Amino acid sequence: MPRKLPSKDVVIVGLGWAGSIMAQELTEAGLEVVAIERGPWRDAATEFASNYVQDELRYGVRRELDLRPEQATFTFRNKMSEMALPIRDWGAFMPANGVGGGGVTWNGATWRFLPSDFTLKTHLVQRYGAGFLPKDITISDWGVTYDELEPFYDRFEYLCGASGAAGNLNGQILEGGNPFEGARSRPYPNPPMQQPFSQALFAKAAANLGYKPFPKPSGVMSQAYVNPLGVRLGPCAYCGFCESYGCGNQSKASPQTTILPVLIRKANFTARANSEATRINLDKSGKRAVSVTYIDASGEELEQPADLVILAADTLFNVQLLLLSGIGKPYDPIANEGVIGRNFTHKTTSDVLGFFDKARFNFNPFVGSGGAGMCIDEFNGDNFDHGPHGFVGGGVIGQMQSGAPPIRTNAVPPGAPRWGAQWKQALRDNYLSTVTPGLGVQGGFYAYRDIYLDLDPTYRDRLGRPLLRLTIDFHENELKQNKFLTDRFADIVKAMGAEKVVMQARKGPYDITKFQTNDLSGGAIMGDNPQSSAVNRYLQSWNAPNLFVMGASAFPQNAGYSPTATLAALAFWTAKAIREKYLQNPGALIHA
Amino acid sequence: MFISRRDLLASTGFLLGGLTARATTISGALPWRPNAGSPPEPAQPGPWLYLTLAEAAAVEALADRIIPPDSDTPGGKEAGCAVYIDRQLAGPYGRRAGFYLRPPFLPGGAQQGPQAETGPAQQYRAGLAALDRLCRSQRRGMPFVALPDAEKDEILAQMESGGDGAEAQAFFELILKDVREGFFADPIYGGNRNMVGWRMIGFPGARYDYRDWVGRHNENYPLPPVAIMGRSDWILR
């Protein structure tokens, strides 16, 4: 029997972005909050010290800050007819671990999704007709609109000190920003980051081709900033060690550098690190969550009762905990029934490499920031007429010079050998004069009936629990989309003056060893009815109204951007609904 | 400030996920203690830790053909790639610490990722033994190290192309990856001696502040590389 702890008002599972925002907002409302975090406590200035964090082997290759598969992993297969095998080491994605979650190791991209992304199904059917969509696509509207979320995107951008150029300020299209973005109520709190050579060249070439390039919105500081909570962030030094590294310079927005210094001082907040939630317990009626069982580092099992349970453990772990806890009906792709595990998606990313004449071009690729980038949005979402192209969806395209640590920055022109004197010479000749955008095509990934999550029948974790099983493959729609976007990107790289261009369009089958981003979504999606969604528009469980499931697991399908700002905006949106509606009258906020 | 560690954990750490971790309750103030953090552990000089003398000689010879010396830059051997590999094999990398290693180990599609039961340490032992057998049987009874460069390259090309079978090919990919890593990882891990890999390509290393350089387009960065432990000319003589 687990040892039962004194009850709290709120228990939060996972102290990443969503968990930290919920903790901040709910402690402000006077509630007593405890957060249970699987990984260790991490302090930015000491753990990511600037005198040793620039270590590619340790953080970039061995990925010390990420979760260890030994502690929790998944099984994977492309098709329902295949046997899933365990992911023994990370490849296609790398789950975060510890306080701050993915907010520690991210690149800081603070994209807002497009207004049409939130009403996707309605929008596409209206514009193209239902017959234009792939047969087995299961996309849906979110149940929340861009306009409803706008104030919360704004909250997140000011929390983070996001830098960028507004493209649409209250409906007025502004030069230099993204003309396709939804209307924003305020400019970014900080000006765009500085542009290294490759990005300036990209912008010039894109503009010459008739596109409207704009700086990537960035949660990495373009200048010193004090956020609304009074927490100070410092200007980015463009050190070139960003994604998969922590920032000890307080320059990359993370829960550590924006919320936790304030949150942790509150008498009504407690964090428990190195503590892994294993189950959300329901009462006898099955309609109320009563507690969270977790196991601490000693192996002791504890039970934390609470009136309100916030599940914020990241997409896959949210879904796994719901399935292991028997909350919601598991999705069955054959019957097309059930909700937990459906509409699982990832991204469709690709790259274009540009090899330039070394006598004329030196990009100093090691200078960079995860937040830096120049992008175009002409081919994202439904920003262009898909009629002639035979697919739906799209993505942002951009040149993002985020640094060039040399173990993994090793592109040589086509035809060069992979070892020996000629390889050595090719590397020497090309390191400084090659543009390697770092997944410059960030394509979306729509939902399909046969892409889903469930529990694996064979493999188990160290606690004896079934692993979560990923069944995922690319559909023709996404591969067509990626080919189209990669070609458009290559046109720009050629126009930049590259002598040789290598297009690395994404090919099927989906490969668990090839990195795609950490932007997994779906599995516990939001929607307007309990037959096809796990949570309502406030991310409240249809089954247990005192359970809220945060994060990208709620996205009905993925868009052509990084998800962080959207999942953070949803957290602020949910927190407001809890504070202003739920607490007055605890129960279902939507009656289906 | 109030940091309580659970009583039962007070005296010892507990193994979880391959790391020593303690359940920690944090409230009231940010936990802070002097000299916190976890700087890297430098590879120590001295004898081989994992490889036998013969294996080490073979790895050095392999490293020197994968990255041959030339007039500007030393090869893989002089750069310390074999030392790097030896220290890595003796450490967590060699035994795949942190990987999911529960059975069953079943063959799958390449897109499902490696499913081997053994890790790099065992792969090196077996791969180097197979290479030795191959050389002695096909190359006049000589070990790899004793062959002329052209013959060494023939053997490597044969391994790369799969001509010696899937296991030799997998071993080639492993050693190719590890030699490159050793050549470009921070010198603290035993390779990239005197930052020769970084000097070769123009990577300034573990520098920190490029604010003055972001906006200077198409100019050559003038400063020499620096490593996590500094640079030899920082040492007072």
Cβ A99 vs Cβ A273: under 8 Å: yes
Which residues on chain A are in Cβ contact (under 8 Å) with B38? 47
Which residue among A61, A85, A297 places its CB closest to the CB of B112? A85
How many Å apart are CA A134 and CA A481, to the nearest integer?
13
Beta-carbon separation of A200 and B217 below 8 A: yes
Retrieve residue A577's tokens: 């609904």
Interchain contact A515–B (C-beta under 8 A): no
**Proportion of chain A above pLDDT 90, given as a percent:** 96
**pLDDT at residue A543 greater than cutoff 60:** yes
> Which residue in chain B is spatially nearest to A196 when comparing CA positions?
B214
pLDDT of residue A155: 98
Residue A284 neighbours by CB distance under 10 Å = 7
Residue type (1 letter), A222: S
Beta-carbon separation of A76 and B114 below 8 A: no
> Which residue in chain A is spatially nearest to B31 when comparing CA positions?
A43
Beta-carbon separation of B185 and A52 below 8 A: no
Cβ B188 vs Cβ B208: under 8 Å: no
pLDDT of residue B237: 63
Which residues on chain A are in Cβ contact (under 8 Å) with B106? 83, 85
Confidence of residue A455 (pLDDT cuts 50, 70, 90): very high
> Looking at the domain assignment, is residue B46 inside a domain?
no
Phi-psi region of B202 (alpha: psi -120 to 50; beta: other; left: phi over 0): left
Chain B nearest-CA distance from A165, in A, is: 18
pLDDT of residue B197: 98
> Looking at the domain assignment, is residue B45 inside a domain?
no
**Proportion of chain A above pLDDT 70, given as a percent:** 100
Beta-strand relationship, A434-435 and A225-226: unpaired
Which residues on chain A are in Cβ contact (under 8 Å) with B204? 366
**pLDDT at residue A226 greater than cutoff 70:** yes
pLDDT of residue B208: 86
Interchain contact A417–B (C-beta under 8 A): no
Beta-carbon separation of B201 and A432 below 8 A: yes
Retrieve residue A490's tokens: 């290559």
- Of chain B, the end-to-end C-alpha distance in Å amounts to 45
pLDDT tens per residue, range B13-62 = 333 333 444 558 999 888 877 777 888 989 999 999 999 999 999 999 99
Residue A177 neighbours by CB distance under 10 Å = 22
pLDDT tens per residue, range A92-120 = 999 999 999 999 999 999 999 999 999 99
Q: Which among A199, A364, A470 is the top mutation candidate for probing chain B, defined by the most B β-carbons within 10 Å of its own β-carbon? A: A364
pLDDT tens per residue, range A380-408 = 999 999 999 999 999 999 999 999 999 99
**pLDDT at residue A565 greater than cutoff 50:** yes
pLDDT of residue B29: 87
| Partners of A351 in the β-ladder | A504
Q: How many CB pairs under 8 A join A and B?
A: 251
pLDDT tens per residue, range A39-49 = 999 988 888 98
Q: Provide the ipTM.
A: 0.95
Q: What is the mean pLDDT of residues A22-27?
A: 98
Q: Which of A450, A464, A106, A152 is nearest to A279 (CA)?
A: A464
Spatial CB neighbours of B155, under 8 Å, sequence gap ≥ 6? B131, B134, B135, B139, B144, B147
pLDDT of residue B17: 36
Which residues on chain B are in Cβ contact (under 8 Å) with A93? none
Q: What are phi and psi of A132, to 5 degrees?
A: -80, -20
pLDDT of residue A45: 83
pLDDT of residue A177: 98
Beta-carbon separation of B36 and A43 below 8 A: yes
Average model confidence (pLDDT) across chain A: 97
Q: What is the mean pLDDT of residues A301-315?
A: 98
Q: A3-582 is classed in which CATH architecture?
A: 3-Layer(bba) Sandwich (3.50)
Spell out, as residue ranges, where chain B has pLDDT lower than 70. 1-23, 235-237
User: How many independent structural domains does chain B possess?
Assistant: 1
**pLDDT at residue A144 greater than cutoff 60:** yes
Length of chain A measured in residues: 592
Residue B110 neighbours by CB distance under 10 Å = 10
Sign, Cα dihedral of A229, A235, A237, A239? positive
pLDDT of residue B14: 37
- Of chain A, the end-to-end C-alpha distance in Å amounts to 37
CA A206 and chain centroid, separation:
26
**Domain housing B123:** 53-97+116-199
> Which residue in chain A is spatially nearest to B190 when comparing CA positions?
A57
How many Å apart are CA A146 and CA A162, to the nearest integer?
19
> Which residue in chain B is spatially nearest to A507 when comparing CA positions?
B111
**pLDDT at residue A330 greater than cutoff 70:** yes
Which residue among B25, B40, B99 places its CB closest to the CB of A69? B99
Chain A nearest-CA distance from B161, in A, is: 12
